[in-house]
Chains A and B, each alone.
Chain A
């Protein structure tokens, strides 16, 4: 058996430990990334859920934005919730800075506040199912962003209420819900296949 892949989880703030557990269960070795130097040691990177404004602040203070963008030009990134906001081309509600790595327009807190958070079952695309396994996908949305439009390179792997919630673009995956908070780890498995 091949050695496990080393996957970084950006650990500036948020539910990075939940991603660490999900990655371990999916057969990877997680590393918590807090400095730009650590990006050299990893095969892929997860941007966790949390507060995008806080992460952005720390990325700026620690001069990690450019190294992160450079990393993403070559290697795969799995972005969840706040991570999608960081990776987007355009962010609204309110307008904020983003890295522009994924060709997506995103509205923050697009479903509303915490009382509008929800757990739903998704019917992923045939493409997703054939690459991972059959069955509905449980999606935990917490103050989630809404992807308003997807650029020509984006492939929608799952939607909810007519909006994309799981999008693949080149080596990257963008997920507006929290696959790290469910026991179904097909999203993480798919990500590991892309490394």
Chain B
């Protein structure tokens, strides 16, 4: 079931994005800056998460004209966000020909029970997750890439760290269990047994596992990659920083040399203070984005 031809192609593109930085952009001009700085892909969205947080209201799929202009402007893959459960936004993005759809908690959910049936699509999907069960449910629905959620638009890495550590730890624990214990694990995580068995055997997800939500500096990017993320998404951290181009370039370098403190120092050398951050414990429960998705 897992590796039919269509799914291999979807995962294949995610493989090509490893070790790189996917940058949030809200127009073609930002997309060009991202590409020039070395982004492996851009994520088109209506507003960056910190603005969604600030302005409130309903956040939806980006305007089609804006996404099309970005697709015409850059040669790297273009991703775009659809609301959780909004399969019609996803169908439009597929027709438009975007390279990846992010069924994202950063936008206002359209369905509070169901995610999109992603296997029915030819375009690949990435979904957010905070723990192993959530990641495997999304993969069961057809997601070909997982990104830990973190807390988007917060400028605070603490949630991204919590989520990548949780997923990595939960997978490690599976690897030491006997076969007869995995059925219970499947029940505990609320995830299909075959996917639990895959993680127990391989100690990793069957699709690439990236990190998102709060990555602001080269050090943040290197941190989550050392914790097990295979690439990073940077949202507000670049275009809400005082030096978007410099931050973009520096984080690209950090994603490659995440194990080399000398190179991370080099990357950080010319940077000033990053975007303003928020303390998560001071955020009202209703303003948390990570709790969207089920």
| A interface with B by C-beta (< 8 Å) | 11-18, 34, 49-51, 53-54, 57-58, 61, 81-82, 93-94, 108-109, 112-115, 117-119, 140, 142-143, 178, 181
- The answer to the question of B39 belonging to the interface, with a C-beta cut-off of 8 Å to chain A, is yes
Which residues in chain B, 32-69, are within 8 Å of chain A measured between CB atoms? 35-41
In the assembled complex, 17 residue pairs joining A and B whose CB atoms fall closer than 8 Å, in A order, are A12-B256, A13-B19, A14-B18, A50-B19, A50-B40, A51-B17, A51-B20, A51-B76, A54-B40, A58-B253, A58-B256, A93-B75, A115-B94, A115-B122, A115-B123, A117-B9, A143-B16
Which residues in chain B, 209-266, are within 8 Å of chain A measured between CB atoms? 249, 252-253, 255-257, 260
A50 to B76 alpha-carbon distance, docked (Å): 10
**Least CB distance, B205 to chain A, in whole angstroms:** 14
A13 adjacent to B256 (CB under 8 Å): yes
Contact of A94 among B38, B75, B123, B257 (CB under 8 A): B75
**Please, what's the 1-or-0 string for B69-105, where 1 marks a CB less than 8 Å from any CB in chain A?**
0010001110000000000000000100111100000
Contact of B97 among A50, A58, A115, A142 (CB under 8 A): A115
B75 adjacent to A34 (CB under 8 Å): no
Specify which chain B residues have a CB less than 8 angstroms from the CB of A178 in the assembled complex: 12
A11 to B259 alpha-carbon distance, docked (Å): 12
Given contacts A54-B40, A58-B253, A140 and B8 within 8 Å (CB-CB): yes
Given contacts A12-B19, A140-B8, A114 and B13 within 8 Å (CB-CB): yes
A54 to B12 alpha-carbon distance, docked (Å): 18
Specify which chain B residues have a CB less than 8 angstroms from the CB of A81 in the assembled complex: 16
Q: How many residues of chain B are within 8 Å of chain A by beta carbon?
A: 37
A142 adjacent to B13 (CB under 8 Å): yes
Nearest-neighbor residue (CB-CB) of B94 within chain A? A115
B38 adjacent to A54 (CB under 8 Å): yes
A114 adjacent to B18 (CB under 8 Å): no
Specify which chain B residues have a CB less than 8 angstroms from the CB of A82 in the assembled complex: 16
With A18-B15, A34-B260, A117-B9 already in contact, 10 other A-B pairs whose C-beta atoms are closer than 8 Å: A12-B256, A51-B16, A58-B252, A113-B98, A113-B99, A114-B9, A115-B122, A143-B77, A181-B12, A181-B15
B253 adjacent to A15 (CB under 8 Å): no
**Least CB distance, A183 to chain B, in whole angstroms:** 11
Task: Determine which residue in A18, A94, A114, A118 has the highest number of CB atoms from chain B within 10 A of its CB, and name it.
Answer: A114
Task: Determine which residue in B13, B98, B260 has the highest number of CB atoms from chain A within 10 A of its CB, and name it.
Answer: B13
Nearest-neighbor residue (CB-CB) of A119 within chain B? B5
A54 to B223 alpha-carbon distance, docked (Å): 21
**A-B residue pair count with CB separations less than 8 angstroms:** 107
B76 adjacent to A142 (CB under 8 Å): no
A114 adjacent to B99 (CB under 8 Å): yes
A119 adjacent to B124 (CB under 8 Å): no
Shortest 10 CB-CB distances between A and B: which pairs? A57-B38, A114-B99, A15-B15, A13-B19, A51-B40, A142-B12, A13-B20, A54-B38, A117-B9, A113-B97
Contact of A117 among B13, B20, B35, B249 (CB under 8 A): B13
Nearest-neighbor residue (CB-CB) of A49 within chain B? B16
**Least CB distance, B56 to chain A, in whole angstroms:** 33
Specify which chain B residues have a CB less than 8 angstroms from the CB of A17 in the assembled complex: 18
Specify which chain A residues have a CB less than 8 angstroms from the CB of B260 in the assembled complex: 34
A109 adjacent to B16 (CB under 8 Å): no
B15 adjacent to A49 (CB under 8 Å): yes
A80 to B161 alpha-carbon distance, docked (Å): 34
Contact of A143 among B5, B8, B13, B257 (CB under 8 A): B13
**Please, what's the 1-or-0 string for B109-125, where 1 marks a CB less than 8 Å from any CB in chain A?**
00000000000001110
Given contacts A12-B19, A114-B123, A119 and B8 within 8 Å (CB-CB): yes
**Least CB distance, B15 to chain A, in whole angstroms:** 4
Contact of A142 among B16, B37, B257 (CB under 8 A): B16
B18 adjacent to A15 (CB under 8 Å): yes
A94 to B19 alpha-carbon distance, docked (Å): 23
A61 to B253 alpha-carbon distance, docked (Å): 9
A82 to B123 alpha-carbon distance, docked (Å): 21
**Least CB distance, A97 to chain B, in whole angstroms:** 13
B255 adjacent to A13 (CB under 8 Å): yes
A178 to B16 alpha-carbon distance, docked (Å): 10
Given contacts A12-B256, A54-B39, A58-B38, A118 and B9 within 8 Å (CB-CB): yes
Contact of A13 among B12, B18, B98 (CB under 8 A): B18
A53 adjacent to B16 (CB under 8 Å): no
